Structure 1
């Protein structure tokens, strides 16, 4: 009974530190089910139903993007010789979602059979749009033979897929969990993953250069948290990501996203501090990566974020802070050139009027 109760604590209940946002350790060391098990449950059920040959089930699964992706993942880990026809059916429909990992997987599962008659079908799938043409560019053409198709599929299967769900990137399962509405399941897994990185940044070491860190997993985590609607955790990930940037361009870009998240979570003083640090980099970049920032979209985005913070400050009844930030925003707009300056003109007028409204109320 104790064991069962402990296993219920997560992900149903997750205790977070109010200040840092990280999760407390589990109360026990009992192993939990891997994330892929509950995520893949619907896909396994649909795959079993598909194998009965019921065309109603085939159509219902094929037209539902989430069920279709899950069924293909289930077929990845439970391969059967009799699945070829249903895989052909699913790959046709998966092309409707353009270039997805599951479309590539479906093409591989079909290609592993090595039937030359599948090449026209796969070539048609590849020709769906520009993205599929690029994503499946290395797939043999319609005039190839079955052996070439099988060789291509085997190579991609070994490098990207395989038959063990635990070998899949964690993002595969968190994204599929979120797509099914299993938001807290995905969120818990993401928080634990972020905690692990925060406690041990060696997890970010690059395989090809062990002394260097690759911060891109943090950027991915920030985006996934945002997609789940958890901006607080997204901000945690983004701050760590920002701290690991090297070039002036990357440091400015990372701080720009950080300032937006701080603004959106109501941390207005912190957002102002982050934008101040951003402007310090513009003034003294230490490399030439920002030499044209005022004439490209980055300059536009910097100005827009200053105006956005100005409006938020005005809405929060902080007129002095709003006026000060507006002055800075106008100075940045004055540095922009060409389309970048034109793009923010309307926003600048709107925000200036909003600040004037607050001044009139004073």
Structure 2
């Protein structure tokens, strides 16, 4: 959908000249200092710039995102018209604008700042402002409303408008006052459900019983807001966890810890079932509850966000975590795997590349290079996948024992075959042929059971490369 105000600026040079000076929204410099994109994959179009090197983008087709030349970005407004209204009525020279000010205080601040602007560089400010308001059809709403709109937009920067440097994939900074706590976001449904449960809402109990994800958030909420009267509710939730066991066991354990802490003998059968016999008596259950207190980590909330379908929230959290992670192999590995589970192969590959650089053993380098090759292929960078496989081959060398150990040889060979097929599909004949040649050598080295298991994939790759050679001929 075309933005009306943006089209007016592009078709009316007189109005565009006024927005550029003195209001510093110049549609004539609609470009940014570096290549960027949104983490969400939504559309991003530079529409104007300012004299500091910052850029205004149309983000997701309608909203306006502002990115500075120094690596910070914030959602500025929900439309170009709203952005221009802010630029014209709360211009850059009004430095003391705050949501803590009332309407009269805001008017006083803008009058004082405007007076300085008239004296220093914009003697025709009043006429210029009036011409833009009229020419662009901007409303003249109260300043407190404009400030509130601006701050609301800023708080909605994440997750949908997270800006990334396209080369390094690092995120642009966002002021802490606009950042959202993932923990609070994912606990909110559980807290709401908990309040309904505590009020005796039968529908809330049915919903928690049927929805494992809601039940997980509810148990987490109870863990962080414990009340003596919650024991009957905890028993019911734990019974449902026992009856509807899923791959997600942590909340079942949390519920068991909360029940065990009450030390009631009548709960022993329930606790034995929940803990696979780990709790066998009341006193032991209390001791277990005290000693086995789990620690929440950032990954706890990422996992729960993913389960709740909040994929972009989880992605933002992981990217921010990756940006702040140094040479920590365990954390990088967890970040790589978590990002891959989200389907963000590019960010997973970034974490994996850093992880590979920390490996001190040949086996460590071979394993992590194999994973990197898979991620690079999945993100579509076949040349990078080929380089990663080269590093895997170099790490393992010709040591047959190392190739066979734990199936590493089979995994690396499989990646060669997968990359061969991907290269054929992409029309990269040179990469396909070279990778298949390496795969042939590897197939001669790995164990016979692995060769047999890879037989169908190997045959498919050989036929694909043979087809390339026929077409070359």
2:168 aligned with 1:40: no
Aligned counterpart, 1:155: 291
Conservation of the 8 A alpha-carbon contact between 1:296 and 1:340: no
**C-alpha distance in 2, partners of 1:303/1:34?**
43
* Higher fraction of helix: 1
* Higher fraction of strand: 2
2:141 aligned with 1:13: no
Cα pair distance change 1:4/1:83, threshold 3 Å: same
Q: Which moved more, 1:73-82 or 1:218-227?
A: 218-227
Aligned counterpart, 1:172: 300
Conservation of the 8 A alpha-carbon contact between 1:43 and 1:71: yes
Aligned counterpart, 1:269: 383
Cα pair distance change 1:302/1:257, threshold 3 Å: same
Aligned counterpart, 2:256: 107
Of 67, 90, 93 in structure 1, the residue corresponding to residue 237 of structure 2 is 90
Aligned-residue RMSD, C-alpha: 1.9
Conservation of the 8 A alpha-carbon contact between 1:300 and 1:336: yes
Aligned counterpart, 1:23: 171
Conservation of the 8 A alpha-carbon contact between 2:306 and 2:314: yes
Matches within 5 A, 1:136-215: 139-141=278-280, 144=281, 146-157=282-293, 160-161=294-295, 168-197=296-325, 200-201=326-327, 204=328, 215=329
Q: How much has 1:77 moved relative to structure 2?
A: 0.7
Aligned counterpart, 2:393: 279
Conservation of the 8 A alpha-carbon contact between 1:116 and 1:149: no
Gaps of 5+ in 2: 1-146
Q: How much has 1:284 moved relative to structure 2?
A: 7.0
Of 231, 248, 252 in structure 1, the residue corresponding to residue 362 of structure 2 is 248
Of 194, 205, 226 in structure 2, the residue corresponding to residue 58 of structure 1 is 205
Q: How much has 1:305 moved relative to structure 2?
A: 0.5
Q: How much has 1:296 moved relative to structure 2?
A: 4.2
Conservation of the 8 A alpha-carbon contact between 1:17 and 1:24: yes
Higher relative contact order (CA 8 A, sep 6+): 1
Conservation of the 8 A alpha-carbon contact between 2:158 and 2:180: no
Q: How much has 1:33 moved relative to structure 2?
A: 3.9
Matches within 5 A, 1:212-231: 215-231=329-345
Which one has the largest radius of gyration?
A: 2
Cα deviation, 1:213-248, whole Å, max 9, x if unaligned, reads: xx1211111121122221111111111111112222
Conservation of the 8 A alpha-carbon contact between 1:295 and 1:336: no
Conservation of the 8 A alpha-carbon contact between 1:295 and 1:339: no
Gaps of 5+ in 1: 127-132, 162-167, 205-214
2:443 aligned with 1:333: yes
**C-alpha distance in 2, partners of 1:13/1:116?**
53
TM-score by length of 1: 0.84
Cα deviation, 1:84-110, whole Å, max 9, x if unaligned, reads: 111111112223115611111010000
TM-score by length of 2: 0.65
Conservation of the 8 A alpha-carbon contact between 1:295 and 1:340: no
